[in-house]
Amino acid sequence: MSEATATRPPRGATRAGGPPASRPRRSLLRPLLLVAVLLVLLLVPFYVEEFWLRTGFAVFGAVVGAIGLNLLVGTTGQLSLAHAFFLAVGAISYVFVSGDSGGIGVAQLSGLGLPPIVGMVVGVLLAGLAGLLFSPIAARLRGIYLGVASLSLVFIGQHVLNSWTSVTGGFNGRSAPDFSLFGFTFANRDPLLFIANVEFREAERLWYLGLALAVAAYVFARNLLRSRPGRALQTLRDSEVAASVMGVNVQRYKGRVFLVSSMYAGLSGVMYALSIGSVAPESFGLEVSIQYLAMIVLGGLGSVGGAALGAVFVSALPLVFQRYADAVPFVSGVGEGGLAAGEAARFLYGGAIVLVILFQPAGLAGLGQRFRRSGRDPGGGRAASRSAASTSTSTTDVPSDPPAQGSTS
């Protein structure tokens, strides 16, 4: 036996300084899967009814907001309960900037009447500005103290929204203007639109608008986490002292991530206004902030895709229960005796949170990673452990176990 034959690694093993032989094939699986999902989502309006399209647009809005909160809580480790406040800033700014002045009941409403795209941009920017103004407080607090401090924004926001009647409409709220872009209106008509003999009304048009915004939010967040600022944010989550030693400006990065997260929330608030068709102060209470925390915990803290999956689960479940209240046990329709659809959904995803924390702390994203690892190693990691143990006595060039997260050794 020659020396080259004796030192040749087994098939699929990692060569020194190079990736496994099967790595390039595996690296194509995720992009191909994402492309397939995107193609399916593009074809959905041709085959499903209006209820699912409107539910999908509401889910897209929740996905945007959940990704923004996950950047703040999951990636940076800053607990925030003020997400509902930033959603309200985006939604109210949109209806005020793009709405018209007029009267509703005893209230006289004010509006600038600007194009809806301007209202959307202003809503996102004002929400980001609100987060930036709060960031000096966030930079000096952490943990439960930051959560309690951010909670004050929700209570202040509720009082302001209910009192500023000319802008918000008070307890009655106000309607949201239809969205339009370069003369194209996302409404039932103006203009009439047929594609492949399918009439594209408001639900179909909003579906594609929500899909485009959700994909853009996902891609931006993924690229951010892979960049140098994203790695700095993850280091900040692991240890502020270590991040400071490595040259990361802790307060500046905390302020920046609060800005980005608030802008995500502002866009989500605009999409919420378009989904419901109106906004009211009671729609942005503490319960909304708790729901978004549930989304990112279920999906997986620190995972962009996991935040999207958690948002789909939490936001779509009450609507589906309400749709099929007659077929779901113990769930009744509106005005009937029994468990309401919204309450049943809260029980379900509340129980899901307990199960996730107990058995899968990494959330839905961690569950997917576990399946991928088990597919690569049918023994569930036991074969790899035995292989590492047998080779550790003969070589010291390659460590048998990867270093822990945040470790440099």
pLDDT at 142 over 60: yes
Confidence of residue 64 (pLDDT cuts 50, 70, 90): very high
pLDDT score for 182: 83
Query: Which residue from 134, 132, 144 is spatially nearest to 77, judged by alpha carbons?
Result: 144
Helices H / strands E in the chain, number of each: 17, 8
pLDDT at 157 over 50: yes
The per-residue pLDDT of the chain, averaged, comes to: 80
Whether residue 100 contacts residue 113, with contact meaning beta carbons closer than 8 Å, is answered with yes
Query: Which residue from 162, 164, 229, 209 is spatially nearest to 61, judged by alpha carbons?
Result: 209
Q: What is the pLDDT of residues 377-390, one digit of tens each?
A: 555 444 444 444 44
pLDDT score for 368: 64
Give the Cα separation of 156 and 338 in Å (integer).
35
pLDDT at 195 over 50: yes
Higher-pLDDT residue of 345 and 117 is: 117
Whether residue 99 contacts residue 122, with contact meaning beta carbons closer than 8 Å, is answered with no
Q: What is the pLDDT of residues 206-243, one digit of tens each?
A: 999 999 999 999 999 999 999 888 888 888 887 888 88
Confidence of residue 370 (pLDDT cuts 50, 70, 90): low
Q: Which two tokens stand for residue 9?
A: 């690694």
pLDDT at 202 over 50: yes
pLDDT at 105 over 80: no
pLDDT score for 235: 85
pLDDT at 187 over 60: yes
pLDDT at 284 over 70: yes
3-state helix, strand, coil in the chain (%, to 5): 65, 5, 30
- Report the first-to-last Cα separation within the chain, whole angstroms: 37
* Segment 284-310 mean pLDDT: 90
Confidence of residue 181 (pLDDT cuts 50, 70, 90): confident
DSSP 339: B
pLDDT score for 336: 64
Whether residue 267 contacts residue 217, with contact meaning beta carbons closer than 8 Å, is answered with yes
Report the C-alpha dihedral over residues 297, 229, 370, 143, rounded to 10 degrees. -30
Give the Cα separation of 24 and 337 in Å (integer).
57
Segments of 51-123 assigned E as strands: 102-104, 107-109
